């Protein structure tokens, strides 16, 4: 049995469909009734629970389970903080996995995870990694770069901006480099782990085959959408001031100060890392967009 957290997110949704197509049995941890209905309709066994509430996890795992822990957040909201979800939630799930003696534990971290990072998101991802790898269980950790594909929130936000704005707005200089990876390539990687878990007992960076500046990401996306527009750079100081102002008001703002920090920092690794570890070459950003972006 494959047990999944975060099954209703972007990556989780694609993974569930992929594994069901392969005829595998799935059990997913969910909180909302809406999630229960959507997964049950697909023939997935559903368990109600919350990784931040250890009492709801008691007895949900079994020795033959392959745990895929995807649950995470990119923006803090109320009690759902990076610490409560990434660190405490992962600790709770790992403790239950140890009690049950599961056969394998997979954790989805993030490229750039570092306990010394200024970004709380990356710091807590690294702390969660330590909890997983220090558990004594057989484990695999993925550190993916920006994952793109149908339904991904990052591309959707940029696409909406491109559609609605007369110019392409870039925070700062937009020179930080990224390595977007297509969801189909991420799925190929995890397929190999599921098929041969004993051969992947390590931490793996998962990234695309090229370095792309943030400005280029927006420009390539706009071109793929057939909506080429002039670029307008907003000074980063002004963006951070706006975030701070709106953060003090009872309204939402499309980015956080931490996300702006991440847009100023390279998030890259070896360009051949997927080829070296998983035996295939991932597609480039623009080629991936052609596969799922509508003009």
CATH fold for the domain made of 2-144: Rossmann fold (3.40.50)
Burial grade of 121 (CB within 10 A; 0-12, 13-18, 19 or more): buried
Q: Are strands 177-178 and 212-213 parallel, antiparallel or unpaired?
A: antiparallel
Does residue 247 register a pLDDT over 90? no
Alpha-carbon 209 to chain mean position: 18
Q: Say which residue the tokens 């003090």 belong to.
A: 248
The residue ranking higher by pLDDT, 273 or 237, is 273
pTM for the model stands at 0.91
Q: Cα separations (Å) of 53 from 56, 88, 127, 188?
A: 6, 9, 19, 32
What's the DSSP call for residue 255? S
Does residue 240 register a pLDDT over 70? no
Does residue 254 register a pLDDT over 60? no
Q: Tell me the average pLDDT across 179-207.
A: 98
Cβ(263)–Cβ(171) under 8 Å? yes
Q: Is the dihedral of CA 213, 191, 4, 22 positive or negative?
A: positive
Compute the distance between CA of residue 130 and CA of residue 167 in angstroms, rounded to an integer.
Answer: 43
Compute the distance between CA of residue 280 and CA of residue 185 in angstroms, rounded to an integer.
Answer: 9
Q: Tell me the average pLDDT across 219-227.
A: 92
Percent of the chain exceeding pLDDT 90 equals 71
Return the structure tokens found at 242. Answer: 């706006």
Number of Cβ atoms within 10 Å of the Cβ of 144: 22
Compute the distance between CA of residue 220 and CA of residue 158 in angstroms, rounded to an integer.
Answer: 11
Q: Cα separations (Å) of 256 from 52, 130, 169, 224, 234?
A: 23, 26, 16, 27, 15
Does residue 245 register a pLDDT over 50? no
Instruction: Flag the least confident range among 132-141, 194-203, 231-240.
Output: 231-240
pLDDT of residue 265: 84
Burial grade of 245 (CB within 10 A; 0-12, 13-18, 19 or more): exposed
Q: Tell me the average pLDDT across 135-146.
A: 97
**What is the tens place of the pLDDT at every residue in 15-59?**
999 999 999 999 999 987 787 888 988 889 999 999 999 999 999
Does residue 226 register a pLDDT over 80? yes
Cβ(244)–Cβ(260) under 8 Å? no
- Beta-carbon contacts of 269 under 8 Å, excluding residues fewer than 6 positions away, are 111, 143, 145, 179, 205, 207
**What is the tens place of the pLDDT at every residue in 96-122?**
999 999 999 999 999 999 999 989 999
Q: Report the mean per-residue pLDDT for the chain.
A: 90
Provide the residue ranges of all domains of the chain, joining segments of one domain with +.
2-144
């Amino acid at each position: 049995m494959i047990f999944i957290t975060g099954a209703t997110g972007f990556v989780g949704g694609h993974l569930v469909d992929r594994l069901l197509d392969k005829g595998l049995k799935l059990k997913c941890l969910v909180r909302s009734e809406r999630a229960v209905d959507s997964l049950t309709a697909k023939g997935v066994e559903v368990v109600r629970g919350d990784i931040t509430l250890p009492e709801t996890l008691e007895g949900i795992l079994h020795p033959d389970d392959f745990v895929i822990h995807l649950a995470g957040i990119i923006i803090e909201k109320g009690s759902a903080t990076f610490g409560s979800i990434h660190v405490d939630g992962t600790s709770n799930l790992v403790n239950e996995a140890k009690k049950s003696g599961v056969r394998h534990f997979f954790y989805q971290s993030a490229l750039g995870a570092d306990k010394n990072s200024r970004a709380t998101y990356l710091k807590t991802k690294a702390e969660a990694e330590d909890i997983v790898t220090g558990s004594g269980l057989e484990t695999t950790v993925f550190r993916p770069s920006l994952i793109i594909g149908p339904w991904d929130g990052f591309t959707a936000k940029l696409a909406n901006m491109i559609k609605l704005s007369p110019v392409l707005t870039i925070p700062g200089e937009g020179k930080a480099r990224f390595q977007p990876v297509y969801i189909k390539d991420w799925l190929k990687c995890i397929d190999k782990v599921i098929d041969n878990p004993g051969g992947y007992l390590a931490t793996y960076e998962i990234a695309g085959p090229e370095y792309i500046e943030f400005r280029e990401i927006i420009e390539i996306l706009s071109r793929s959408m057939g909506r080429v527009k002039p670029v307008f750079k907003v000074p980063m100081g002004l963006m951070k001031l706006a975030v701070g102002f709106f953060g003090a008001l009872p309204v939402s703002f499309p980015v956080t100060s931490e996300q702006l920090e991440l847009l100023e920092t390279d998030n890259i690794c070896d360009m051949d890392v997927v080829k070296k570890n998983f035996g295939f070459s991932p597609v480039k950003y623009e080629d991936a967009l052609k596969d799922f972006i509508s003009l």
